[in-house]
Structure 1
Amino acid sequence: MKVEIWSDVVCPFCYIGKRKFENALKEFAHRDEVEVVWHSFELTPDFQPIPGESIHESLAKKKGVSAEEGRKMNDYMTGVAKEVGLAYDFDRAIPANTFLAHQLIHLGAHHGRQDATKERLMAAYYLEGQNIGDLETLVKLGAELAFDSTETRAALTAGTYAEAVRQDEYHAQQINVRGVPFFVFEDKYAVSGAQPTELFAEVLEKVWDEFKPAKPALTMVADGPACGPEGCD
């Protein structure tokens, strides 16, 4: 079974949704036969961070509210994240453009470590206060995932995976993705948002029952003398 997920690294519900989906997947009997593919989605592609501006101030400006209201929104999100075991630290979070980070996730896919790369970036942003829009920070995070630093720096500098990010976003437009996280199961069923773990579990079971691999038909490669209920040939 294939599950494709569109999300942004700086989308708080995306990390929460990731955990809820993973919790459902852990209990799914056929989890080893599920392929998860992460796709890029930039909530604010043209975002230009202002040095020294806090995430509370950045959110407030985007929403057109006071900085205090921005902090309250983030405090609420911290509580929601805590329910799935994530300790968001918005006081340390650094506003960032995610275009380079998405390219690193594609590099991770190239090395067969896409999910690990996605997880590392989200943890760096939400839990550790690292600047995921900074090239050298991304090179360092890549090194933690055993990526060659020279390769990572060269790929991000040259935009080797920039087109892959744009293709993901174009695909999102084609299937009318309006918000993230957005989950697509077997290119037929979609789930939008950080839904409860129980719902993800139900969808996994439903899709598996509908699309589970059929047992291959036997192909006779030799037919010779044998015995059966009526005797022997």
Structure 2
Amino acid sequence: MKVDIWSDTRCPFCFIGKRNFEKALQTFSQNDKVEVNWHSFQLDPNMKTDLAKNHYEYLSEVKGFPMAQIMQMHENLIQSGKNAGIDFNFDDVKVSNSFKSQMLVQIAKEKGKANEMEELLFEAYFKSGKDIDDVEVLSEIGEKLGFPKEEIQDAVQSPELAKLVKNDIFAANSLGIKGVPFFVFNEKYGVSGAQPIDLFSEVLEKSWSEFSENDSKLKIIEEGDSCKIDGNC
């Protein structure tokens, strides 16, 4: 059985959704028969990396809300992160375009290490305050998974990997995906947002029980907390 996940490496709900899905998958009786495929997505492709601006300032400009309101909105997000075992460090998050980091996900997919790469990129961005648009930072992350520095430097210049990122985004648009994380179970059931563990467990069981059915129409099971392409997160 296959699970496809669209995610942006600068989306906090994608990090939470990843952790909750993984916990559900750990207790799923058929987890050794589940193939997880990560797909690239960009919430704001036109965003410019700006290290002089902090995370709250950027969101205040995008949403048009006062800084105090933006910071207050993050309190619930921080608690949701803690519930998922994540200590978000939004004070140090760098305003970074995520395209190059998505190219790392693509090269990791070729080696069966996409899940590990997603985790390291999330941790670098949300916990360590790293600029995930910086080649040196990405090289350090890649080296943790055994990729030579030169391979990562070549990867972020690769037209082929850039095309794979764009193909994933095009596929998301074709499915009508407007926000992430977005999970597609067995090409049949869509789950939007950072859902609770129990919901992921329920959909895993349902998808497995209907594994042999032939129904190509995507059904949205549930919509939850996610980051949208209009800037809402």
TM-score, normalising length from structure 2? 0.88
Is 1:22 matched up with 2:35?
no
Task: Tell me which residue corresponds to 2:134.
Answer: 134
Residue 153 (structure 1) aligns with: 153
Distance 1:28 1:157 in 2: 39
Q: Is residue 51–residue 96 contact of structure 2 (8 Å, CA) maintained in 1? A: no
Matches within 5 A, 1:81-120: 81-120=81-120
**SS of match in other structure, 1:87:** coil
Aligned amino acid, residue 68 of structure 2: E
List gaps (5 residues or longer) in structure 1.
Answer: 214-233
Which structure's CA Rg is the greater one? Answer: 1
The residue number in structure 2 matching 1:231 is none
Q: Distance in 2 between matches of 1:31 and 1:127?
A: 29
Within 1, Cα distance between the matches of 2:49 and 2:14? 21
Deviations 1:46-87 (A, max 9, x none): 001323111011111111011222222223211111111100
Please report the RMSD computed on the Cα atoms of aligned residues, expressed in angstroms. Answer: 1.3
**In 1, distance between residues paired with 2:171 and 2:158?**
23
CA contact (8 A) 1:56 1:74 kept: no
Off by >6 Å, runs of 4+ in structure 1: none
Runs of 5+ in structure 2 lacking a partner?
214-233
- CA distance in 2: counterparts of 1:74 and 1:107, whole angstroms: 32
| Residue 149 (structure 1) shift | 1.0
Name the aligned partner's letter for residue 4 of structure 1.
D
CA contact (8 A) 1:16 1:84 kept: yes
Tell whether the 8 Å contact from 1:4 to 1:184 is kept in structure 2 after alignment: yes
Distance 1:13 1:95 in 2: 17
Percent identity (aligned): 40
Give the distance between the partners of 1:104 and 1:50, measured in 2 at CA.
Answer: 21
Aligned to 2:43: 43
Aligned residues: 213
Alignment partners' CA distance in 1, 2:156 and 2:81:
30
Write out aligned runs for 1:158-197 (5 A): 158-197=158-197
The alignment partner of 1:37 has SS state of strand
1:126-164 per-residue CA deviation (whole Å, 9 max, x = no partner) reads 111111111111011101111011111012123440000
Counterpart of 2:132, as a letter, is I
SS at structure 2 position matched to 1:211: coil
SS of equivalent residue, structure 1 residue 6: strand
From the two aligned structures, give the one with the greater strand fraction.
Answer: 2
Q: What is the SS of the residue equivalent to 2:88? A: coil
Which residue of 2 is the match for residue 74 of structure 1?
A: 74
2:184 aligns to what SS in structure 1?
strand
